[in-house]
Chain A
Amino acid sequence: MQIFKPHVINKEESVISITGLYKSFDDLDVLKGIDFNLYKAENVAVLGKSGSGKSVLIKIIVGLLKPDRGEVVVLGKHVNQLNRKELDDLRLHIGFSFQNSALYDSMNVLQNLTFPLTMNRKNLTKSEANDAAEEILDSVGLKDKLNQMPSDLSGGQRKRIGIARTLILKPQIMLYDEPTSGLDPVTSTEIIELINEVQQKYNTSSIIITHDLTCAKNTSNRIAMLLDGRFLKIGKFDEVFDTDDEQVKGFFNYNFIQ
């Protein structure tokens, strides 16, 4: 297994900076004042209960949802103030791995990978796009699945292809939404390994949304505990779970029993 090697993080260089973020859906307040920084080459795992707003947070970062209040600055750009063109330019630097992979059903694996590339780099020839796709597929260990349809792949393979699809645009930031959910322990370990490989190979900064403490511990420099719409604790794994807080302890115990 690719071991997670904690490295020194330069806290001067913030790639994502969030201040006073609020978001609600109808009467339900989901995020109630989030302040957070992600530094260059850092992996942060965001832990929290289902429905605590973890996925909402990363959807706001990538501009899929608009916040009610607050400021989100990604790579020096205020996400809420960007027009469509500027937001698309920013999104080219952000990779988003969806919980259910979100592969395009009507396309095979190769087309899934080349689609974002050919749509964004018009001067690229078909063979260049295919070569890039094959290279990325090789790096996620699925080169032999090139011509298969997403429906023919297992859950773990779909996750890998989903990650490969985001990597093809060579992003600086990776946002993983529940990368190990619904996977068996062996496949989860493979995905954890892949997240670490991606960080080391592409020097990405990542936010990993997860329930899985094994994933959080083995992929992240810091853990952020999201409870009741706020970050209750942010710090190293041991610092976060060395607490008397019942909710945090409950989360740890649940995962431990699991």
Chain B
Amino acid sequence: MMNKKVRKYVFSKVLDEYFSGNHKAYRFIALFFKELFKRPFHLREVINQCFEVGLKSLALISLTGFIVGIVFTKQSRPSLEEFGATSWLPSLIGIAIIKALGPLVTALICAGKVGSSIGAELGSMRVTEQIDAMEVSAINPFKYLVVTRVVATTITIPVLALYCSFVALYGSYLNVHAEETSSLISFYQSAFKTINFLDIAISVVKTIVYGFTIGIVGCYKGFNATQGTRGVGKAANQAVVLAMFLIFIEEVIIVQIANWIRYF
């Protein structure tokens, strides 16, 4: 007689795995908030991670921001010229960069660079039992590895986004300056003329959400990596893809909420 165990699923294997995966992810996020306010805070490690996230992305963000500023100005000028509205160029650039492009470009770059790096690092630590080694040494690896990294990305990415916006505006200024005589100060004044406090606040909130998303997704994928070295690559890849996907969804939701706030 066959003594084979029969596996039962609530719905199907795929659906069950989808829901249990979601449940695991929510528990991971809940654990983050639970551990966030508990001692020890590992401030030195948070600063170290901020340095890692910030400094390592700085060159790429500077270059990308600068190019985005130049290209956006070049593309917008002919359209505005058709209506004789080139004087509105700095304002248009200011709105586009500060409200949308700066935060989004920074988030996408960091999702690629920082998210994959966190996913691969933690994934590698998981498959080589370094996380278990921490655990058996009475060190809470979640607190030391996950909380510090998520806090670091949540703090650093808004700062990087702000920096990216300023570099993009500078790139834009250089392009404007090549075509017509304009001072840097008057360009920045014109760019910020149509930007109010709410716009900047929403941009900052948006980048905080992006930073949290990049950190938590990278950590979740890395911390739960399996299947040896193959799993490390998979964790890094999934960290980037999922973070980018979530960033676009969050962008839509936050813009919608921001519009509702504006009407009130």
Contact with B along A45-61 (1 / 0, CB 8 A): 00000000000000100
Contact, CB under 8 Å: B137 / A102: no
- A238 contacts partner chain B, Cβ-Cβ < 8 Å: no
- B136 contacts partner chain A, Cβ-Cβ < 8 Å: yes
Residues in A76-118 with C-beta less than 8 Å from chain B: 84, 88-89, 91-92, 94, 96, 98-100, 102-105, 115-116
A116: which of B7, B128, B137 is its contact (CB, 8 Å)?
A: B137
Contact, CB under 8 Å: A27 / B132: no
Contact, CB under 8 Å: B132 / A64: yes
Contact, CB under 8 Å: A100 / B138: no
- A62 contacts partner chain B, Cβ-Cβ < 8 Å: yes
Contact, CB under 8 Å: A104 / B136: no
* Contact partners of B132 in chain A: CB under 8 A: 59, 64, 98, 102
Contact, CB under 8 Å: A62 / B5: no
Question: B49 CB to closest chain A CB, in angstroms?
Answer: 12
- A120 contacts partner chain B, Cβ-Cβ < 8 Å: yes
Contact, CB under 8 Å: B130 / A96: no
Contact, CB under 8 Å: A102 / B7: no
- Of the four ranges (under 10, 10 to 19, 20 to 34, 35 or more), the interface on chain B belongs to 10 to 19
Contact, CB under 8 Å: A119 / B130: no
- A223 contacts partner chain B, Cβ-Cβ < 8 Å: no
* Contact partners of B153 in chain A: CB under 8 A: none
- B148 contacts partner chain A, Cβ-Cβ < 8 Å: no
Cα distance, A64 to B133, chains bound together (Å)? 10
* Contact partners of B175 in chain A: CB under 8 A: none
- B135 contacts partner chain A, Cβ-Cβ < 8 Å: yes
Q: A27-B5, A105-B124, A105-B130 are contacts. A64–B138 as well, Cβ < 8 Å?
A: no
Contact, CB under 8 Å: B137 / A64: no
A98: which of B133, B138, B139 is its contact (CB, 8 Å)?
A: B133
Nearest A residue (CB) for B124 = A105
Nearest A residue (CB) for B5 = A27
* Contact partners of B144 in chain A: CB under 8 A: 119
Contact, CB under 8 Å: B138 / A91: yes
A88: which of B124, B128, B133, B138 is its contact (CB, 8 Å)?
A: B138
Contact, CB under 8 Å: B130 / A102: yes
Q: A27-B5, A98-B129, A102-B128 are contacts. A120–B135 as well, Cβ < 8 Å?
A: no
B129: which of A91, A94, A102, A165 is its contact (CB, 8 Å)?
A: A102
- A224 contacts partner chain B, Cβ-Cβ < 8 Å: no
- Of the four ranges (under 10, 10 to 19, 20 to 34, 35 or more), the interface on chain A belongs to 20 to 34
Nearest B residue (CB) for A84 = B140
Nearest B residue (CB) for A24 = B5
Question: B120 CB to closest chain A CB, in angstroms?
Answer: 12
* Contact partners of A115 in chain B: CB under 8 A: 137, 139
Cα distance, A98 to B129, chains bound together (Å)? 8
Contact, CB under 8 Å: A94 / B136: yes
Cα distance, A115 to B136, chains bound together (Å)? 13
- A137 contacts partner chain B, Cβ-Cβ < 8 Å: no
* Contact partners of B128 in chain A: CB under 8 A: 100, 102, 105
- A15 contacts partner chain B, Cβ-Cβ < 8 Å: no
- A31 contacts partner chain B, Cβ-Cβ < 8 Å: no
Contact, CB under 8 Å: B139 / A116: yes
A120: which of B125, B129, B139 is its contact (CB, 8 Å)?
A: B139
* Contact partners of A27 in chain B: CB under 8 A: 5, 7
* Contact partners of B7 in chain A: CB under 8 A: 27
Contact with A along B153-179 (1 / 0, CB 8 A): 000000000000000000000000000
Question: B193 CB to closest chain A CB, in angstroms?
Answer: 48
Residues in B111-155 with C-beta less than 8 Å from chain A: 124-125, 128-130, 132-133, 135-140, 144
* Contact partners of B139 in chain A: CB under 8 A: 115-116, 119-120
* Contact partners of B135 in chain A: CB under 8 A: 64, 91
Contact, CB under 8 Å: B124 / A120: no
* Contact partners of B140 in chain A: CB under 8 A: 84, 88
* Contact partners of A164 in chain B: CB under 8 A: none
Contact, CB under 8 Å: A119 / B137: yes
Q: A27-B5, A102-B129, A105-B130 are contacts. A96–B136 as well, Cβ < 8 Å?
A: yes
Residues in B238-262 with C-beta less than 8 Å from chain A: none
* Contact partners of A64 in chain B: CB under 8 A: 132, 135-136
Nearest B residue (CB) for A89 = B138
* Contact partners of A98 in chain B: CB under 8 A: 129, 132-133
Q: Give the top 3 A-B pairs by smallest Cβ distance, nearest first.
A: A116-B137, A88-B138, A102-B133
Other than A92-B138, A104-B133, give 15 A-B pairs with Cβ distance below 8 A.
Answer: A59-B132, A64-B132, A88-B140, A91-B136, A91-B138, A99-B129, A102-B128, A102-B132, A102-B133, A103-B130, A104-B130, A115-B139, A119-B137, A120-B137, A169-B138
6 contacts between A and B (CB under 8 A): A64-B135, A88-B138, A91-B136, A100-B129, A115-B139, A119-B144
